[in-house]
Structure 1
Amino acid sequence: NIFFGLRIPALYRAGRFKVILIAVVISLVYPNSFKWVLSNYNGINIINLLLSIVLFTMGTTLKVDDFINVFKNPKAITVGISAQYIIMPLMALTLASAFSLDTALTAGLILVGTVPGGTASDVITFLAKGDVALSVSLTAVSTVISPILTPIITLLLIGNQIQFNPVDMFISIIEIVIVPIIIGLILNYKFPNFCEKLKDYLPTISSIVICLIVAGVIGANKQAILTSSVIILIVITLQYFLAMLLGFVIGYLAGMDRKQIITVAIELAFQNSGLSTSLAKTHFPNLSQATVPGALYSVFQNFVGSILAYVFRKYQS
């Protein structure tokens, strides 16, 4: 029962959401405690380095079979990936316009919509009795193609409002996401026994890293969050639940079975918010609040996801 380095019992015994919540509280009370997360060290962006560690752990748990499954279930994969990169970005743009978000928050929300699915979706899918193989494949495929689609879609949606270089974003995603995953894949292929033992430690590593990223962003934007938290929380809540609802509708209309429908719904709702935060920090340096939506979305999806997993599991039992 291990998916992308997250051992289910260990994850919930450790109380990942509680750890994140504690980090958030500390960052609000002592906002300078995690200031170093958003800094550079010898020309290296710390937040990008931290995220690369998470993606490396993901790579060490991936196998070639996870990609071969794409050809075994092409319809479900096509529907899921299409929804991921069409519905989520358009929904983010619609919500940003409907609530008249400023440029920075709009950019951050768009990035939450254009990044690939988050690895936590595979854990929640397992707990919800969904199609875990489909979830793993959806996350893997959406992540691998993100260097191309994320910059292009972001450019199409907000390129007329914000100046940024999509090629630079492409390179960033290759460096932050693809390279660490490939290294992890190679390590898993060459030393499978070592990676199997390593999995016991990966939940702790990735949880700590995510906590640091969230705490760093929230601490740096404490005042902005306190003054605009109600609006942005409403937007993030709508984004999450609308994604879940549309996932159910799309899965049903596509003729999927119950497990696949639940999987697509979860996959849409769970985004790689850490990546959106990292990209916002790197490519929108003059828009500090652009990192806020991703950080808040990370906290929200971890909290609500564990509750929904219980609801789905109970409904199917």
Structure 2
Amino acid sequence: MFSRYYSACFMIVALSACIWPQPWLIIQPFFFWLLAIIMVLMGLTLSWSDFLNILKQPGSVCLGVVLQFLVMPLLAWLISLALGYPTEWLIGMLLVGVAPGGIASNALTYLAGGNVALSISMTLVSTLLSLFMTPLLTGCYLSTVIHVDKTGMLLSIAQIVILPVVVGLLAVHMLGEPRIRKVRCWLPGLSLGLIMIAVSTLVALNADNLNRLSWTLLLGVLIHNAFGLLSGYLLARCLGQPTANARAIGIEVGTQNTGLAMALALKHFTPLATLPGAIFSVSQNIFGVTLARYWRRNDQQSDEPL
């Protein structure tokens, strides 16, 4: 039920954080721990069979991950240059672009009637690869703009993403699938709630900047998000992927781990660089749910007898 109204709840809570930021700033010292908990929950939703799914459809997984790390950074860079963004916004856009797939993509793929196993596999692979790909791509794109501490970013990703996911996987192994299965149905909703709290905390941190938000930044983030979703889907279809796979790939490409992007911006750059991630967090949920429901509605109409 919560996931059904998640986009509306997300907007209301984020708006409240922008209008009344002080209560949310209490969470700021625990922000990185909050992200780590979210990634532990992601690990708890996985099983060793998910790794076997990667071997069952390696071509589709590789295609989705390649598009993830190719399309989104390039789009972020081109949009930022075209709209003449200042350095802080450029950094924030790039960090969103080089982030791995977001865990919300799995729920959105299910809602869209896509290949959920493929979505989980792509999220898992892109998350693990982010340990190297995110610092590498950030350095490549931003080397002429600002110094990038690639080693520091690698260590941050290991602490915030990789280690917690491994902890979650080990917990599944030690406690056993039957015990974890009893609570697994609650984990997606809990993860979404924690993501909403994390993003709202950063919205509160940027409340003054958001009140003076430029329409050009909003436009750029919306274009980035929409083009990511559509280009991922269309490129997958053009390369021969079936509809269910293409939907999973499109959603995976256009749904980013914005929590990680904002955490890296906050730790290694400036709070202003978290703005694109905060906006993208809201837009990807609205766009993702809208597109998923459009696809599912088309499926239902096509199943109706003539």
Structure 2 stretches lacking a partner, 5+ long? 301-306
Identity %: 31
Which AA in structure 1 matches 2:183? L
Q: Which residue of 2 is the match for residue 236 of structure 1? A: 221
Q: Which residue of 2 is the match for residue 309 of structure 1? A: 292
Give yes or no for contact 1:213–1:295 (8 Å, CA) kept in 2.
no
Q: Which residue of 2 is the match for residue 261 of structure 1? A: 246
- Classify 1:228/1:152 alpha carbon distance in 2 versus 1 (closer, same or farther; 3 Å): same
Q: Bigger shift: 233-242 or 65-74?
A: 65-74
Deviations 1:121-163 (A, max 9, x none): 1111111111111111001100011110000000000122122
Instruction: Choose the corresponding residue for 2:141, options 136, 157, 176.
Output: 157
The alpha carbon displacement at 1:196 in A equals 1.8
Give yes or no for contact 2:72–2:253 (8 Å, CA) kept in 1.
yes
The alpha carbon displacement at 1:293 in A equals 0.9
Instruction: Choose the corresponding residue for 1:122, options 106, 109, 117.
Output: 106
| Match runs of 1:80-159 below 5 Å | 80-159=64-143
The alpha carbon displacement at 1:79 in A equals 1.0
Residues in 2 aligned to 1:85 and 1:64: alpha-carbon distance in whole angstroms: 25
Residues in 1 aligned to 2:160 and 2:54: alpha-carbon distance in whole angstroms: 24
The alpha carbon displacement at 1:200 in A equals 4.1
Deviations 1:254-287 (A, max 9, x none): 1111111111111111111111111111111xx2
Which AA in structure 1 matches 2:57? N
Give yes or no for contact 1:10–1:203 (8 Å, CA) kept in 2.
no
Instruction: Choose the corresponding residue for 2:16, options 19, 26, 36.
Output: 26
Residues in 2 aligned to 1:133 and 1:59: alpha-carbon distance in whole angstroms: 15
Q: Which residue of 1 is the match for residue 192 of structure 2? A: 207
Q: Bigger shift: 133-142 or 210-219?
A: 210-219
Residues in 2 aligned to 1:79 and 1:202: alpha-carbon distance in whole angstroms: 28
Which AA in structure 2 matches 1:29? I
The alpha carbon displacement at 1:199 in A equals 2.2
Deviating 4+ runs (over 6 angstroms): none
- Classify 1:204/1:310 alpha carbon distance in 2 versus 1 (closer, same or farther; 3 Å): closer
Deviations 1:57-115 (A, max 9, x none): 01011011212222211211111111111111111001111111111111111010001
Which AA in structure 1 matches 2:3? L
Residues in 1 aligned to 2:196 and 2:123: alpha-carbon distance in whole angstroms: 21
- Classify 1:229/1:33 alpha carbon distance in 2 versus 1 (closer, same or farther; 3 Å): farther
Residues in 2 aligned to 1:203 and 1:262: alpha-carbon distance in whole angstroms: 20
- Classify 1:197/1:10 alpha carbon distance in 2 versus 1 (closer, same or farther; 3 Å): farther
Q: Which residue of 2 is the match for residue 295 of structure 1? A: 278
Residues in 2 aligned to 1:55 and 1:288: alpha-carbon distance in whole angstroms: 22
Q: Which residue of 2 is the match for residue 42 of structure 1? A: none
Which AA in structure 1 matches 2:257? N
- Classify 1:281/1:266 alpha carbon distance in 2 versus 1 (closer, same or farther; 3 Å): same
Alignment partner of 2:23: what SS?
coil
RMSD: 1.4
Please report the TM-score for the alignment, with normalisation by the length of structure 2: 0.93
The alpha carbon displacement at 1:38 in A equals 2.8
Which AA in structure 2 matches 1:271? Q
Residues in 1 aligned to 2:188 and 2:97: alpha-carbon distance in whole angstroms: 25
Q: Which residue of 2 is the match for residue 6 of structure 1? A: none
Residues in 2 aligned to 1:134 and 1:208: alpha-carbon distance in whole angstroms: 24
Q: Bigger shift: 115-124 or 185-194?
A: 185-194
Q: Number of aligned pairs?
A: 299
Residues in 2 aligned to 1:211 and 1:256: alpha-carbon distance in whole angstroms: 33
Which AA in structure 2 matches 1:267? E
Q: Which residue of 2 is the match for residue 174 of structure 1? A: 158
Alignment partner of 1:162: what SS?
coil
